[in-house]
Structure 1
Amino acid sequence: MVYFHINKLPTKYTGTELKEELRYSNDLLHVLEKEPKVSLIPGIKESMNLLEETIEDDLEHMKSTMDHDAKIGHKTKDTAFFGYKTHIAMDDNRIVTAAVVTTGEKSDGKYLANLIEKSEANGIKVETVLGDAAYSGKDNLKYTNKKEITLVAKLVPAVSKGFRDKNDGFEFNKDAGMMVCPAGEMASRKAKQGKKDQNTNQTITYYFDVEKCKRCLIRENCYKNEAKSKTYSISIKSELHQEQMHFEKTERFKKLSRNRYMIEAKNSEIKNRHGFGTNKSDGLFGMNIQAATTLFVVNLKRILTLMDE
Structure 2
Amino acid sequence: MISNRSSLILSPYLEIYDIVVPKDNILRQINELVDFSFILEELKDKYCLNNGRNAVHPIRMFKYLLLKSIFDLSDVDVVERSKYDMSFKYFLEMAPEDPVINPSTLTKFRKLRLKDMSLLDMLIGKTVEIALEKEIIQSKTIIVDATHTKSRYTQKSPKEFLQEKSKNVRKAVYQIDESMKSEFPSKSTSNEVKEEVDYCKEIISILEKKPQLASIPAIKEKINVLKEVVGDYTEQLSFSSDPDARIGHKTADSSFFGFKTHIAMSDERIITAAVVTTGEKSDGKYLQELIKKSKATGMGIETVIGDTAYSEKENIQYANQNKIQLVSKLNPNITHGTRKKENEFEFNKDAGMYVCKAGHMAIRKARIGKKNQSNNQQQVYYFDIEKCKVCPFREGCYKEGAKSKTYSVSIKSTEHKEQEAFQNSEEFKELARSRYKIEAKNSELKHRHGYDTASSAGLLGIEIQGAITIFAVNLKRIITLIKGK
TM-score past 0.5 threshold = yes
Which residues of 2 match residues 1-309 of structure 1 at below 5 A? 65-159=240-334, 162-164=337-339, 166-198=341-373, 201-237=376-412, 240-309=415-484
Q: Structure 1 residues 239, 144: CA separation in 2 closer, same or farther (over 3 Å shift)?
A: farther
User: C-alpha distance in 1, partners of 2:343/2:438?
Assistant: 30
User: C-alpha distance in 1, partners of 2:242/2:347?
Assistant: 25
Greater Cα radius of gyration, structure 1 or 2: 2
Query: In structure 2, what residue type is equivalent to 1:176?
Result: A
**What 5-or-longer segments of structure 2 have no aligned partner?**
1-158, 165-238
User: C-alpha distance in 1, partners of 2:425/2:469?
Assistant: 37
Matched residues, number: 252
User: C-alpha distance in 1, partners of 2:374/2:461?
Assistant: 54
Question: Greater RCO between the two (CA within 8 Å, min separation 6)?
Answer: 2
Matched-pair contact (CA < 8 Å) for 1:88–1:99:
yes
User: C-alpha distance in 2, partners of 1:67/1:167?
Assistant: 28
**What 5-or-longer segments of structure 1 have no aligned partner?**
1-15, 22-63
Look up the SS of the partner of 1:217 in the other structure: coil
Look up the SS of the partner of 1:247 in the other structure: helix
Q: TM-score, normalization: structure 1?
A: 0.77
User: C-alpha distance in 2, partners of 1:196/1:115?
Assistant: 39
Look up the SS of the partner of 1:158 in the other structure: coil
User: C-alpha distance in 1, partners of 2:414/2:265?
Assistant: 30
Q: Structure 1 residues 303, 212: CA separation in 2 closer, same or farther (over 3 Å shift)?
A: same
Using the TM superposition, give the Cα deviation of residue 154 of structure 1 relative to its aligned residue in structure 2, in angstroms: 1.1
User: C-alpha distance in 2, partners of 1:198/1:307?
Assistant: 57
Matched-pair contact (CA < 8 Å) for 2:312–2:335:
no
User: C-alpha distance in 1, partners of 2:322/2:400?
Assistant: 44
User: C-alpha distance in 1, partners of 2:260/2:350?
Assistant: 14
Using the TM superposition, give the Cα deviation of residue 221 of structure 1 relative to its aligned residue in structure 2, in angstroms: 2.0
Matched-pair contact (CA < 8 Å) for 2:374–2:413:
no
Matched-pair contact (CA < 8 Å) for 1:98–1:119:
yes
Root-mean-square deviation (CA), in Å? 2.2
User: C-alpha distance in 1, partners of 2:328/2:278?
Assistant: 23
Superposed CA deviations along residues 204-245 of structure 1, whole A, max 9, x for unmatched, are 000001111111111222112222211000011265533222
Matched-pair contact (CA < 8 Å) for 2:332–2:413:
no
Matched-pair contact (CA < 8 Å) for 1:84–1:103:
yes
Superposed CA deviations along residues 63-87 of structure 1, whole A, max 9, x for unmatched, are x821110000000011110000001
Query: In structure 1, what residue type is equivalent to 2:473?
Result: V
Query: In structure 2, what residue type is equivalent to 1:76?
Result: T
Look up the SS of the partner of 1:159 in the other structure: coil
Query: In structure 1, what residue type is equivalent to 2:481?
Result: L
Superposed CA deviations along residues 1-47 of structure 1, whole A, max 9, x for unmatched, are xxxxxxxxxxxxxxx9679x9xxxxxxxxxxxxxxxxxxxxxxxxxx
